A and B are shown apart, each in its own frame.
Chain A
């Protein structure tokens, strides 16, 4: 009687998912193949290009940008300069450029895909109630799990790294785009309607500008999440600072691991402050 639970045969979920993955891999090969063969090398070119630029130039450019982005204050610029010199000094500059490229690519696609989904979601309650649990699922599933099918689709290297972080990092952009648009006051929406706006006029002239702050906060989170995922993606061969960490882990080399970790933290802080300041900049008080 007590082993009644054992009488239920084990449901073949794992097999189903594996089969489904195989199916997807075969069916969408026309998509995965060019991504593997073209996009991967493209990203490596971008990173290579960044590495061509003399670090001192990069540091100066970042410092100047930081100065203006933070409203002509010296704090961020100073931090960036010191942080970047430290990274160069520790010999992980190359990893930094790889990581940055990955973050840039995955954030770019996350926003490119996430914002339209968020917009559609804000227009339909049905869609919202369908998408929300999917987003919860995407965010709570351990990040490592994404790596497995990704390898099947894109083999190893940069593309699977981008793809995995894309999935992992997209939810905040979707959520906050949806939220931002839904929060636009009814009167403003009515005003744009009452003057005879079309759907797109209302969206681009009223809703998106009003929701901008919220959406930018979402994008900031997306960028930070994709940074954390890019590091994890090193487990499937994505290059960058994460690879240094993993290598250190395999060799139990505390020192190198720590240095690479610090490098990631520095990059994270710089990116975070940049995106936050961009958001603050043109904000008229509402």
Chain B
């Protein structure tokens, strides 16, 4: 069962939401509805599910409805129509008291501008969620301290937020959310207010924390790089609608429409694409069946100067060069063992293009992509360049 399920969720801001809703369902655009009725479509019939333990990123330009959507999930904003289920329970049908309980136990939020209470110390901030649940002082202090340790702020508990840097303030925000031990973390552009370096550091830390804690995280960002770095899945929003949901690869490699394509156009692909995306089907010869003669023949046919050698199970044995093979043929050597070279440049399926780029630069032969000893593909310099230029990636592999 998904932890969060969102069904045709719609929010319309303005005086006559019912009227606007009808137009929306008839397929009018956000712009047309604004013109017709003066109402703003915040979120337009969003539907998706978030599984336990995943980082689900919602990405879109400013004004695309991300903040509205995340606030509909904990009902800081009441929906115009549609449903939100948390652990199968429908939030829109809940009483205030039940809703409060869900917020206290299951959903915690981290805010873009940190939203720390300036008159409370770091520790008191982290305690807030527990305090309002009426948990006694000693226990809530213990839990809050643990959460602060977790984000590396154990030594700052008696400071006030204004005494901390932005990055540290957001750690307090994160600790405050974690202290409750919620199932779901809602993070609205949590790192957007930080400088790039600190932001990257926080992203890494979030991923580290996630390794250990396995929370379900809904993370909002307008930054595609950030989305690709931390998202298990990404939902792309435009004008309040979700235009595509998929893994980072799917989004990049297979944009659902022109809008997504535009969005991903200027991503630094080298950070996202891996060996798997750019490798080609390898020409090989079989060490158990073939000798230098066949090898030479095959290379001549394909116009290669070297060829990879495998066994029947496609285990990679090494490679031979055309020069060695013709030499061996002249000397009438039968097997390939004598001329087999084993200094193979190898990578695995998930090696990033950036690393491949460094490798391929000074390699005389194509790079072998190996999985559990088996040759899965090869990468030639040409395909790296092509992929960086944004074309020619093979989806059948991804």
A residues whose Cβ falls under 8 Å from a Cβ of B: 185, 187-188, 190-198, 201, 205-206, 209-210, 212, 284-286
Contact = CB atoms under 8 A, between A and B. Distances in A.
B270 interface: no
Contacts of A212: 119
B394 interface: no
A147 B147 CA distance: 60
A209 B119 contact: yes
A205 B112 CA distance: 21
Nearest to A201: B132
A285 B117 CA distance: 11
Given A195-B180, A209-B117, A284-B119, A190 B111 contact: yes
Contacts of B133: 196
Contact of B76 (A194, A201, A286): A194
B118 interface: yes
B107 interface: yes
Chain A at the B interface: SS class: helix
Nearest to B97: A198
Nearest to B113: A187
Given A187-B112, A209-B117, A284 B76 contact: no
Contact of A195 (B108, B119, B160): B108
Interface-central residue, A188, A194, A198, A201, by most chain B CB under 10 Å: A194
A173 B162 CA distance: 28
Contacts, number: 70
A284 B160 contact: yes
Interface in B104-162: 104, 107-109, 111-113, 115, 117-119, 128-129, 131-133, 160, 162
Contacts of B221: none
Given A195-B180, A196-B100, A198-B132, A188 B119 contact: no
Given A195-B132, A196-B132, A190 B115 contact: yes
Nearest to B186: A194
Nearest to B124: A205
Interface of B: 71, 74, 76, 100-104, 107-109, 111-113, 115, 117-119, 128-129, 131-133, 160, 162, 176, 180, 186
A286 B163 CA distance: 10
Contacts of B186: 194
A195 B112 contact: no
A91 B111 CA distance: 62
Contacts of A192: 128, 132
Contacts of B104: 195-196
B102 to A, nearest CB: 8
Interface-central residue, B101, B104, B107, B119, by most chain A CB under 10 Å: B119
A16 to B, nearest CB: 39
Contacts of A210: 117-119
B326 to A, nearest CB: 73
A34 B245 CA distance: 72
A243 B149 CA distance: 65
Contacts of B103: 193-196
A194 B117 contact: no
A277 to B, nearest CB: 18
Contacts of B74: 194
A209 B160 CA distance: 15
Contact of B115 (A191, A196, A209): A191
A193 to B, nearest CB: 6
A286 B118 contact: yes
Contact of B109 (A194, A197, A284, A285): A194
Contacts of A209: 117, 119
B187 to A, nearest CB: 12
A150 B108 CA distance: 54
Contacts of B71: 190
B132 A197 contact: yes
Contact of B100 (A185, A198, A205, A206): A198
Nearest to B74: A194
Nearest to B106: A196
Given A191-B111, A209-B117, 12 more contacts: A190-B71, A191-B115, A192-B128, A194-B103, A194-B107, A195-B109, A205-B132, A210-B117, A210-B118, A284-B119, A285-B162, A286-B162
Contacts of B132: 192, 195-198, 201, 205
A25 to B, nearest CB: 44
A193 B176 CA distance: 14
A212 B117 CA distance: 13
Contacts of B117: 188, 191, 205-206, 209-210
Nearest to B179: A195
A253 to B, nearest CB: 52
B119 A187 contact: no
Nearest to A191: B115
A40 B71 CA distance: 55
B222 to A, nearest CB: 17
Contacts of A193: 76, 103
A192 B133 CA distance: 12
Contacts of B111: 187, 190-191
